[in-house]
Structure formats: C-alpha cells, structure tokens
Amino acid sequence: MHIRASQPEGAASALTTAPPPITYNLNDAARVTGLSRSTLYRHAAAGRLRLIKCGGRTLVDAASLRALLGVTA
C-alpha cells in the first residue's frame, strides 16, 4: 500500500526554485560577475550601476547589474 502525503492546494513544492535576487551585496555581486568591488563602485560613480543604501549596507540592484553586463535573463 502506498501512502501519499497530502499537501495543501496551491502550496509550493519543496523542489521549486527560488526567484532570482533583486539585489546583491557588493561581495556577492563581485563574485558572480568576476568584477572587483572597486570596479563596481566605478561603474556606480559613472551612473552605469545602481547602488542602494539600506541601513548600513550597500546593495547592488540586480536589474542594473544585468543591464551593465548585457544579460537579458
């Protein structure tokens, strides 16, 4: 006999992927792009990258990072 665990209707499966991030901290942005933190700051100073201050943290807007790199998805 096979017993199937019930899951509430509309509940997400544990195997679904997380949505893409909307921001990165500077270290993560540098890691995923291969660019240095200094280079990211230079792009921000030139207006090519949007940085967001939240509390004491500086976050990189993921959409502007993708635009800077020319990534569409």
The answer, as to whether pTM is greater than 0.75, is no
Comparing C-alpha atoms, which of 27, 23, 32 is closest to residue 53?
A: 23
Domain residue spans of the chain: 23-68
Q: What is the pLDDT of residues 19-72, one digit of tens each?
A: 989 999 999 999 999 999 999 999 999 999 999 999 999 999 999 999 999 988
What distances in angstroms separate CA 44 from CA 11, 40, 49, 50, one per listed residue?
40, 6, 4, 6
